[in-house]
Structure 1
């Protein structure tokens, strides 16, 4: 792997954060959110700020941008200097002018950062209206030019589109165009690729680097993924509990990390090296080779002909066939729009398949009515990507865990006893049954979601992007938990992901989808080590940090 080895020592210091402290107002007894954070970024340099959720990364960026929530967080010490100008001394009006002109920010989720009722071209143009005096025609030409620079297709059509009419990658490109249209000295990117599939992520990272080189922009890139760090960083600052615990040039930090916490982050990064192959046997001889999920020629078409519809509809899945044996894990991988989640939702009968067979625990369920399907739902359960949205925020965790078993005939006392056992199984205390979802971290909520699914004692567990929104260290813990539950309970897992690195850690077999069709299917070791299809090779090539052995702090020999 080739690391960035450019010398920035003679470049102008763009951002200088010195001993920055942030606290909750009027609560001196509470530990500071940021405790004397210091970092420096020079023109043309990419500095990565890494750490787990809650480490203080995003608070640092919001403090620099002057966007800390009013009356909730307050800067209590230190300084923030942008090209020699102390940002903490600026008035609100001066700070607004500094944003976009001197510094800009790209947020993690463009759909929440963009106005849903404004065309995206108008939203970019609004930056020029507020911070410039160009005539309308010149503004539009400038917007179209920056849209071409961020490699958007058919820019005039995109200019007139609303955010919901664009893909996730296109929306993020709009955010980048909006941030860079006034050529700011500093660009802050807060987890801008976390929600994107690996190929789109690679394109966005390349785009930011390309535009940075043209404009000599200083970039503060916030991420929890050391794979991304290895791809783009010049320097790395590691945060933990509101403090910078280690900072170094990227190659030095990856090869010789000093802090235990840094080593922990590196060891948690998933690699493309697949798990050790397991024989298709279980401790119970009668269960050996039992296919608990079989899908044959599954087809799904959205839309199509109807009273208000014309045309043939959108083909989302075509001729999809696979099977999973008890105690095994099949991963379905592919980019956004490849059909992975459509297949998962059809298998769960959350959406209606257009054609094909779905056999769960020996029963064909594809054509059953909702009423007839009810007894079979206990055999197949799902864990969604966002546990906060899938858990009822008004229910205590105990109620969420007993709901399913009680609905299927268990007594409340028996179900609550089982819920306590499940909490311990997923590594949480029994007394946590009395808490609400918001009182847990993201990783803990995902453990609760897994416990709720396992409460039904299913034959098949569907995990739909169940770890994609988690820090890599928490992600590793959840993957280990799934493997542990599978070993103890013998459940088959259908694992949906866009990241082949994650699939390598847990899957026995991998099925690769593109445009609704299977392009490759086989044992994980074969698919990852010797991909036959060009699309599979493109996915493996796009995996960030693919040439680095993070756990052993060295370059892979084959890289």
Structure 2
């Protein structure tokens, strides 16, 4: 594998952090959130800050930007030197002048960072209007030029578009253009690709690297994905519980990590080696999907239109104890298929047979008795769990609705908590009192409470840290083995699919382009689109568990900007 090996020793130091300590505002005796952080970043260098949720990565970036939440967190010690400017002592007006011109930031979720009621071109121009003396015509010309630099198509149309009219990748490109339009010395990228599918992620990573090369920008890249780190980093710092526990050049960190925590993070990264195929627990089909189609829109009273075909002629079966993965980019139709099977939407055509009953044409009333046979785990457990209900109420609701006594439902709920490695006495807590990984465990317990024949997991681990992700994947595997459940697993990450799926079905623009055993699809893909997905998987050339490079010789067409 090729590592970035440029020596930055003689490069200009852009950011110098020494002894940075951040704690809860007004509570000097409470445990600090950041504990004596030391960090250096030089011009042209990409320094990756990695660690699990809660390790302090984002607090470090917000502190450097002067964006700590007021009355919640405060700097309690240390210094942040941005090319001679002491950030910890800077006044609000001085920080406003520094942002965008000297230091800029790309946030994780552009839809919440962009103003939904302003056109994106106007939002980029706003940076120029605040920090330069360019005329209106000059500002627009500069904006158009920067939009072209970040490879946005049809820039005149996108310039006049609102954020909701753009894809996730296009919105992230707008954020990059906004951050770099004044050529800042330091760019902070806080999980900018976590919510993107793998091909769009690859494009964004290439784009940041290209823009960095063009402008000589220092980059502080925050991520929990060691696969991404392997692709882009020059140097790496690993954070745990508010401390930096290890810092090293990328080659040294990946080949000879010193700390147990670093080794744990590396070994949690999924790879593309598919699991050993499993025989069905029983010789029957739990679910049969035959000719499933879903079309959105279509002809109305005043117009004739064929609508958007989100899924076309989808066919598959799943047996007890087996997992079928549906993979593809955003917009490929995979989640549409999952929602149609769950009857959260009504399919336009086709048959869906679950546990011997054809459910695609049933009315909502007719469907109700059959819902216990198929359950779903969503991507965001915080949104799928009622925040006003205790865990006990969430776990008991389904069984009680189907005739189980309250006492039996409570006992079953306690057993489920143990099954997902949570304490029984946590039943009286509320969702906000748990971590993201724990909430997902509760969501899995709620789904399993109904003793379903089919479990649908729709991007159920994509929002989790890699170490928590590995734990949840192991949990799904254990649950499936114990209860013989058939599982439909929706994901955009082929690395995850390799760890849990027996078969893989690849979708592109609503069409199934490849379907077969996971070992065949991932080891010898037949379709160019599948090969592009595999090539885009971050860290695909690395065996993280054994700290060594892999020889990946699968021919690919390559993802392009």
Residues 318-348 of structure 1: per-residue CA shift (max 9 Å, x gap):
0000000011000000000000000000000
Instruction: Report what 1:17 is aligned to.
Output: 17
Instruction: Report what 2:432 is aligned to.
Output: 438
Instruction: Report what 2:56 is aligned to.
Output: 56
Residues 442-492 of structure 1: per-residue CA shift (max 9 Å, x gap):
000000000000001000000000000000000000000000000000000
Instruction: Report what 1:186 is aligned to.
Output: 186
How is 1:278-357 mapped onto 2 (pairs within 5 angstroms)? Answer: 278-280=278-280, 282=281, 288-307=282-301, 310-357=304-351
Instruction: Report what 1:212 is aligned to.
Output: 212
In the alignment, is residue 366 of structure 1 matched against residue 340 of structure 2?
no
Answer yes or no: is the 8 Å Cα contact 1:121–1:158 preserved in 2.
Answer: yes
| Structure-1 separation of matches of 2:231 and 2:26 | 42
| Structure-2 separation of matches of 1:400 and 1:315 | 35
Answer yes or no: is the 8 Å Cα contact 2:46–2:233 preserved in 1.
Answer: yes
Return the offset for 1:87: 1.1
Question: Which secondary structure state, in structure 2, belongs to the residue aligned with residue 546 of structure 1?
Answer: coil
| Structure-2 separation of matches of 1:289 and 1:309 | 49
In the alignment, is residue 113 of structure 1 matched against residue 129 of structure 2?
no
Answer yes or no: is the 8 Å Cα contact 2:198–2:538 preserved in 1.
Answer: yes
The one of 458, 483, 497 aligned to 2:452: 458
Instruction: Report what 2:36 is aligned to.
Output: 36
| Structure-1 separation of matches of 2:41 and 2:303 | 55
**Number of equivalenced pairs:** 553
In the alignment, is residue 226 of structure 1 matched against residue 226 of structure 2?
yes
Instruction: Report what 1:428 is aligned to.
Output: 422
Instruction: Report what 2:537 is aligned to.
Output: 543
| Structure-2 separation of matches of 1:310 and 1:54 | 52
Answer yes or no: is the 8 Å Cα contact 2:279–2:322 preserved in 1.
Answer: no
Return the offset for 1:306: 2.3
Return the offset for 1:537: 0.4
Instruction: Report what 2:485 is aligned to.
Output: 491
Instruction: Report what 2:382 is aligned to.
Output: 388
| Structure-2 separation of matches of 1:65 and 1:29 | 25
In the alignment, is residue 399 of structure 1 matched against residue 393 of structure 2?
yes
| Structure-2 separation of matches of 1:364 and 1:338 | 25
Answer yes or no: is the 8 Å Cα contact 1:405–1:455 preserved in 2.
Answer: yes
Return the offset for 1:89: 1.7
Instruction: Report what 2:252 is aligned to.
Output: 252
| Structure-1 separation of matches of 2:521 and 2:283 | 22
Return the offset for 1:90: 1.3
| Structure-1 separation of matches of 2:172 and 2:324 | 31
| Structure-1 separation of matches of 2:117 and 2:60 | 31
Return the offset for 1:85: 1.3
| Structure-2 separation of matches of 1:341 and 1:48 | 32
Return the offset for 1:307: 3.3
Answer yes or no: is the 8 Å Cα contact 1:303–1:309 preserved in 2.
Answer: no
- Which runs of 5 or more structure 2 residues have no equivalent in the other structure? 554-561
Coordinate RMSD, CA, aligned: 0.8
Question: Which secondary structure state, in structure 2, belongs to the residue aligned with residue 100 of structure 1?
Answer: coil
How is 1:153-168 mapped onto 2 (pairs within 5 angstroms)? Answer: 153-168=153-168
Return the offset for 1:26: 2.4
| Structure-2 separation of matches of 1:41 and 1:268 | 27
Return the offset for 1:305: 1.3
In the alignment, is residue 378 of structure 1 matched against residue 367 of structure 2?
no
| Structure-2 separation of matches of 1:89 and 1:412 | 59
| Structure-2 separation of matches of 1:362 and 1:352 | 19
| Structure-1 separation of matches of 2:398 and 2:497 | 29
Answer yes or no: is the 8 Å Cα contact 2:296–2:309 preserved in 1.
Answer: yes
| Structure-2 separation of matches of 1:436 and 1:279 | 39
Return the offset for 1:310: 4.1
| Structure-1 separation of matches of 2:439 and 2:510 | 31
Instruction: Report what 2:559 is aligned to.
Output: none
Residues 492-550 of structure 1: per-residue CA shift (max 9 Å, x gap):
00000000000000000000000101000000000000000010000000000000000
Instruction: Report what 1:470 is aligned to.
Output: 464
Question: Which secondary structure state, in structure 1, belongs to the residue aligned with residue 286 of structure 2?
Answer: strand
Instruction: Report what 2:413 is aligned to.
Output: 419
| Structure-2 separation of matches of 1:197 and 1:299 | 23
Return the offset for 1:279: 2.4
Q: Structure 1 residues 411, 155: closer, same or farther in 2, change over 3 A?
A: same
TM-score of the pair, normalised by structure 1: 0.98
Residues 31-54 of structure 1: per-residue CA shift (max 9 Å, x gap):
110000011000000000000000
Q: 334-343 vs 271-280, which deviates more?
A: 271-280
Return the offset for 1:433: 0.6
| Structure-2 separation of matches of 1:30 and 1:418 | 39
Answer yes or no: is the 8 Å Cα contact 1:79–1:86 preserved in 2.
Answer: yes
